[in-house]
Amino acid sequence: MSLRLHDTLTRRLQTVTPLEPGHVRLYTCGPTVWNRAHIGNFRTFLFEDVLRRWLERSFPRVTHVMNLTDVDDRLIHNATEHHQRLAEETAPWIEGFFADLDTLGIRRAHHYPRATGYIEEMVTLIERLEAKGVTYRSDGGIYFRIAGFPRYGRLSGIPAAGLVAGRSGRVDADDYTKEDARDFALWKTVGPDDIGWDTRLGRGRPGWHIECSAMSMALLGESLDIHCGGVDNIFPHHENEIAQSEAATGKPFVRIWCHGEHLTMNREKMAKRLGNFRTLPDLLAAGYRPAAIRYLLITGAHYRRTLDWDEAPLRAADEAVGRLTEFRDRVRSLGAGSGGEEIGARAAAAADAFARAMDDDLNVPEAVGHLFGAIRDLNRLLDAVTPSVAVRQQLIALVEEADAVLGVLPLVDRERAASALSPEDEELLARRVAVRAARDFAESDRIRAQLLERGIMVEDTAQGQRWKRA
């Protein structure tokens, strides 16, 4: 089975067939770096990370580009208000974005172009559009005339017919707070003391939409395989990208458009302007584990369905990560045995079911359902049989291939390394085992309290003493 993805433009599942055989060119819309990205943003970035990981499993080469929008109305307003350059205004938010990517185990894109680094490419693209006769100038800058692109509206389903065109209908703002489908700014004129660039078009700065078209073309070519973003990017951003890109080149801009649905809170879209958002540092400060956050955001619902943020599913995600970790650890610790053909067959069936679900429009919830159903069965079978080395390797491969998508076990291992016991802690734990064996329970309790002061919680189970960080 080949990978098929839901294409927003055709409203159908499309098989991923790269323009260049064996090489997938992927563009994903990155953050506007005017504030800390929230976990609603990261749900989209994590869906794209899963897609990237599965593409890399399916094709020899993937080139991934994610832009950073480091110039827009909000950023210019903030930089002016704070009396600093644009680069100084964006630096802490860019640093925070990359820190959050690493915390959640999101693979870095191959390129992170910043809009401010591609002004010349934007100017050249606007000049091509002017030569095609689909723009007009006014005192405010240069605008794309939607009426000049008859195919406008195919992506979003909002047709160009009946829309206001011309100077009276232009849109100057980058911060779209409502759906607005009128002529949009390609280049905005600014004063001599305002933040801007002196170019062949005059002093000004780019509009939002032209940035992604220019950067994607510069790094991936005039036509690319897959373009992703959140559903709120469909209109007007991606609709306008198509219009300006195809009007300039005369070529199809993107083969497959993929869009992730919103993360909601109390059934309402998570957004900074609504004040109902959480950042990753907020969640870490509240004691939530990165592995559980990542797991919930990618498995809580199919990427094309909304996911409501709540503590109950987050706790369930933490438990699921724990079950996967325990199974991985159990398989690693297996001794040499013999046989286990039934175990091998169950592992192979699970790996095949997992892959089929992923090839079916990245159905991660279904894929993990197959995985955990198999883990339940395999744990039962392992209680009775120690399998051969070859079967043990099948089990290891099942876990590794699944986690190549889920990406949670490296986060668990990182957390374990950070919470490793000191020699003093190990000595206290060993001493406690000895005094309990000698039935000195008062001393055992005293050592337990001492360990708790050091941030270590101890639990006595039928299998012996266990500990975890408080």
User: Where residue 275 falls among pLDDT bands split at 50, 70, 90?
Assistant: confident
Closest residue by Cα to residue 403 from 291, 268, 305, 286? 291
Determine the pLDDT at residue 228: 98
Q: Note the pLDDT tens digit of each residue in 433-464.
A: 899 989 999 999 999 999 999 888 898 876 57
Residue 393 CB partners (closer than 8 Å, separation 6+): none
User: Where residue 176 falls among pLDDT bands split at 50, 70, 90?
Assistant: very low
CA distances from 359 to 4, 44, 47, 50, 431 (A): 6, 19, 14, 12, 52
As given in the structure block, the two tokens for residue 357 are 């679900």
Number of domains, the chain: 3
In a domain, 8, yes or no: no
Tell me, yes or no, whether 83 and 150 share the same domain: yes
In a domain, 10, yes or no: no
Tell me, yes or no, whether 241 and 304 share the same domain: no
Cβ proximity of 280 and 46 under 8 Å: no
User: Where residue 60 falls among pLDDT bands split at 50, 70, 90?
Assistant: very high
Give the whole-number percent of the chain exceeding pLDDT 90: 80
236 prior amide bond cis, ω within 30: yes
Tell me, yes or no, whether 396 and 433 share the same domain: no
pLDDT at 343 over 70: yes
Determine the pLDDT at residue 175: 54
Tell me, yes or no, whether 464 and 350 share the same domain: no
Tell me, yes or no, whether 344 and 383 share the same domain: yes
User: Between these two residues, 274 and 338, which has the higher pLDDT value?
Assistant: 338
What's the whole-number mean pLDDT along residues 11-18? 98
What span, in angstroms and rounded, lies between the C-alpha atoms of 407 and 387? Answer: 27
Examine the fold and report which residue of 417, 441, 461 is the final residue of a domain before the chain moves on: 417
Q: Note the pLDDT tens digit of each residue in 121-151.
A: 999 999 999 999 999 998 889 999 999 999 9
Cβ proximity of 183 and 144 under 8 Å: yes
CA distances from 396 to 58, 329, 374, 389, 445 (A): 20, 10, 13, 10, 39
Determine the pLDDT at residue 163: 57
Tell me, yes or no, whether 412 and 437 share the same domain: no
Determine the pLDDT at residue 266: 84
CATH code, domain with 368: 1.10.730.10
As given in the structure block, the two tokens for residue 422 are 């000191």
Cβ proximity of 370 and 405 under 8 Å: no
Residue 177 CB partners (closer than 8 Å, separation 6+): 273
Tell me, yes or no, whether 244 and 345 share the same domain: no
| Residues shown for the chain | 470
Q: Note the pLDDT tens digit of each residue in 237-274.
A: 999 999 999 999 999 999 999 999 999 988 888 877 66
CA distances from 404 to 21, 51, 57, 105, 407 (A): 23, 11, 9, 11, 6
Tell me, yes or no, whether 227 and 304 share the same domain: no
- In which residue are the tokens 């890399």 written? 56
In a domain, 283, yes or no: no
In a domain, 3, yes or no: no
Q: Note the pLDDT tens digit of each residue in 179-203.
A: 445 799 999 999 999 999 999 999 9
User: Where residue 376 falls among pLDDT bands split at 50, 70, 90?
Assistant: very high
Cβ proximity of 402 and 417 under 8 Å: no
Q: Residue 454 — left, alpha, or beta (φ > 0 → left; ψ -120 to 50 → alpha)?
A: alpha
pLDDT at 171 over 70: no
Closest residue by Cα to residue 163 from 180, 151, 176? 180
Question: Residue 146 belongs to what domain range?
Answer: 19-273
What span, in angstroms and rounded, lies between the C-alpha atoms of 11 and 206? Answer: 31
Read off the pTM: 0.88
- Helices 389-406/341-359 angle, 10° precision: 20
Determine the pLDDT at residue 201: 97
Tell me, yes or no, whether 379 and 269 share the same domain: no
In a domain, 6, yes or no: no
Tell me, yes or no, whether 43 and 160 share the same domain: yes
| Long-range contacts of the stretch 134-139 (C-beta < 8 A, 24+) | 134/247, 135/186, 136/166, 136/167, 138/167, 138/170, 139/189
Q: Note the pLDDT tens digit of each residue in 310-325.
A: 989 999 999 999 999 9
User: Where residue 67 falls among pLDDT bands split at 50, 70, 90?
Assistant: very high
As given in the structure block, the two tokens for residue 261 are 């649905």
Cβ proximity of 314 and 282 under 8 Å: no
pLDDT at 277 over 90: no
Determine the pLDDT at residue 464: 74
In a domain, 333, yes or no: yes
